[in-house]
Amino acid sequence: MKARVLNETYNPLLKRKEIRVEVEHDPSGTPNRATARQEIATLLGGDAQKINVIKMVTLTGTTRTVCEVELYDDPDRAKKIVRPYLRERELPKEERERAKAAKEAPKKEEPKKEAKKEKEGKPAGEKTKPEQAKPKPEAKREEKK
């Protein structure tokens, strides 16, 4: 697999380089993001943790993939800026599945606990009614004869 830089700009506000890279790969198919990330890291001479592959496009019938990559000055800054689903997408398949399982496990338990709390506060079969508006006291009128 070979990679070459097509375009490179520096974004001083976000402290990152925004790079378009063309990766030439074997005809078996488009490489996964983790492999492309490692190849781009060797090309740019940077740490793979600072690099985020945002987009990969392969034209049908070609062995070239154009990647949009962000190279941050600091990996902690990358964690703050890059959206979580993009960070998860770059993980190898096994790690991605572990992260997904860890994320879903606590979510399934929380709604059950909340549902129990709601049921405990209400007796069975009782429905909540909206508060009825209290009638305003009528002003006493004196009748004139």
Where do the domains of the chain lie? Answer: 2-99
Q: Has residue 20 got a pLDDT over 60?
A: yes
DSSP reduced 3-state for 74: coil
**pLDDT value, residue 10:** 95
- Binning pLDDT at 50, 70 and 90, where does residue 130 land? low
pTM for the model stands at 0.60
Of residues 115 and 56, more confidently modeled: 56
* Cα–chain center distance at 1: 29
CB neighbours (10 Å) of residue 88?
13
Answer yes or no: CATH 3.40.630.30 is held by domain 2-99: no
Using pLDDT thresholds of 50, 70 and 90, give the confidence band for residue 116.
low
Distance of CA 79 to the CA centre of its chain: 11
- Is the separation of the CB atoms in 39 and 65 below 8 Å? no
Query: With bands split at pLDDT 50, 70 and 90, how would you rate the model's confidence at 7?
Result: very high
Pair 21, 8: CB distance under 8 Å: no
